[in-house]
Amino acid sequence: MNNQYSYYTPEQDDMDCQTGNMNRQDRRKNRKVPSVIKVIGLGLVFGVVASAAFQTSNIIAEKFLKTTSGAVEKKVETTGSTQLTTGSGNAVTSDISAIAKNAMPSVVSITNMSVRQVQNFFGGIHEQESESAGSGIIIAQNDTELLILTNNHVVEGNDTLTVSFIDEESVTANIKGTDSERDLAVIAVQMKDIKSTTQDKIAVAQMGDSTQLQVGEQVIAIGNALGYGQSVTTGIISATQRMLDGFGSELIQTDAAINPGNSGGALLNANGEVIGINTIKVATDMVEGMGYAIPISDAQDVITNLMNQRTKTKVSEGEQGYLGIQPVDVSEDSAQMYGMPTGVYVSEVTAGSGAQKAGITKGCIITKIEGTSVNSTVALREQLQYYGVGETIKVTVEIPGSNGEYKAKTVEVKLGKNR
């Protein structure tokens, strides 16, 4: 059976019955497995953009999933460091409405506005604005920022990101860190942009322990279904440690109804603790009730790393940096067939470019930009767009040896101007 797995992000006015995606303008978020991962939103110039608003969150990582007593706070407290609120793991309640009421202040709606180039019937190219919707989970706060966890595919390709809270107040958000391989992202909202009345209504989510999940255990899914705002569905854990073709980590399987727009939303246990990030679902005529979430405990290290990255903003197009390579995706199938690392294959290096001066040659495979994994040209562009002309960035490449083995090396590349 050739299953199709799809993300829960609405983007066009028509409903795709096969994938379950309700789309407003394009179908960027569809994922077909095992053969192809579809990613649209390539209208960004390759080479791109600089970082402003440099902020480092003083995350206390060791407290990420440690258990403490107490319920979800109804108000986000301001402290000198950023932490995640964790739950006690005790006192299970079967009152779904009470669990939802406590958890919904920590779930947000995310709107991704982007501009892409489209071809009309006569072959002409024009720009078209695209809007997509997803969900997010408030996971931490420092003195200046509120941090929100979501899926990478919810925020990729964005020109602007808008976060809407439980009281429907909306503010602009910026990328803090992304990991395309794990499909995770952390975005940041400035505390000064959030009204005091909204701060009184929102809450930092409590994290559970996904390693303790049992098949048959009750779960609750909360998210921005169809882009209309928060909704709640219930179900059970159908399976744990599921591996899907084209996805790099184990997933939780659930039959809780997870609708388009729920990507990045919370999967909760009966304590109201987050045990998963809703991500993909199976969509075929022969399958019903197969949704998947990223286990929160498995993602601990990745999320902590993303929380500690600097908040990124884009520079104007004319100031976008240029790496100086011709990129080609290394798909998972190609990586397995030829024994290559997954990443971006360098098919050509521009003479005199920063990449050439740093020692990057044809045949190298780029796997990280500034410590963040990149597994496709799209992911590479997403990372480069925050660095401008003249900035120096760290690029991790896999260099092929004479014996066919690859060796990792991190080099510093000074970005040039796109010619």
Give the DSSP H/E element, type plus range, for residue 155.
Answer: helix 152-155
Q: In whole angstroms, what is the distance from residue 54 CA to residue 87 CA?
A: 31
Local structure of 198: helix, strand or coil: helix
| C-beta separation of 178 from 152 below 8 A | yes
Between CA 91 and CA 104 the distance in angstroms is 19
Q: How many CB atoms lie within 10 A of CB 159?
A: 15
φ, ψ for residue 319, nearest 5 deg: -105, 10
What are 161's two structure tokens? 């990101």
Q: How far apart are CA 222 and CA 260, in angstroms?
A: 12
Contacts of 224 (CB under 8 A, 6+ apart): 108, 109, 110, 133, 134, 135, 230, 231, 261, 262, 265
Q: Encoding tokens for residue 153?
A: 């595919």
Residue 99: its H or E element: helix 96-103
Q: 250 and 241 in contact (C-beta within 8 Å)?
A: yes
Tokens 């080099």 sit on residue: 411
Catalytic site positions: 153, 183, 263
Q: Which of 299, 301, 320 is nearest to 381 (CA)?
A: 320
Tokens at 311, concatenated: 């908040």
Using the 8-state DSSP alphabet, how is residue 403 labeled?
Answer: T
Residues in the chain, overall count: 419
Q: How far apart are CA 297 and CA 409, in angstroms?
A: 29
The answer to whether 224 touches 233, Cβ cutoff 8 Å, is no
